[in-house]
């Protein structure tokens, strides 16, 4: 997990901006569920629906079985050297954390827990599905 206070300050955003990221967290959980039920290669079927280029890149790296440390380096490079801030930066941080958890084989529940922590202003009920 990224523990960089300067980066965290740049990723600070409003409740409304955080609220728009709830579907992203649920999407990361869903990707983890796909792997748990159908296996890693089933992610290839999900790629066409992933419009976010950062998320798409990360999923491709996982499908290609790139080592965790290399995935981390690639995603971190984009986060640190891209001029993102606010909601967009927070979104990338959440994607990074979720993908690293997915790549490590964490359960869908753990992926959810470890990504929703970044949206501290959002009530727990927002993350419940069905």
Average pLDDT for the chain: 90
Q: What is the pLDDT of residues 13-28, one digit of tens each?
A: 888 999 999 999 999 9
Residue-level pLDDT at 78: 92
Query: Rounded mean pLDDT of 58-74?
Result: 94
CA distance 11 to 5: 10
2 pLDDT above the threshold of 90: no
Q: What is the DSSP letter of 71?
A: H
Whole-angstrom distance, CA of residue 40 vs CA of residue 62: 8
If you ran DSSP here, which 8-state letter would residue 95 be given?
A: H
Distance between CA atoms of 72 and 119, rounded to whole angstroms?
A: 21
pTM: 0.90
Q: Residue 31 has what pLDDT?
A: 95
- Dig out the tokens for 51 from the structure: 């419009």
Q: What is the mean pLDDT of residues 96-103?
A: 95
């Amino acid at each position: 997990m990224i523990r960089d206070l300067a980066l965290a300050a740049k990723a600070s955003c409003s409740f409304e901006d955080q609220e728009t990221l709830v579907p992203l967290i649920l999407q990361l959980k869903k990707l983890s569920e796909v792997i748990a039920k159908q296996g890693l290669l089933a992610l290839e079927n999900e790629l066409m629906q992933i419009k976010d280029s950062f998320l798409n890149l990360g999923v491709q790296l996982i499908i290609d079985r790139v080592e965790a440390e290399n995935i981390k380096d690639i995603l971190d490079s984009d986060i640190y050297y891209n001029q993102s801030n606010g909601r967009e930066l927070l979104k990338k941080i959440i994607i990074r954390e979720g993908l690293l958890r997915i790549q490590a084989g964490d359960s869908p529940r753990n992926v959810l827990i470890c990504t929703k922590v970044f949206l501290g202003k959002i009530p727990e009920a927002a993350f419940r599905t069905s």
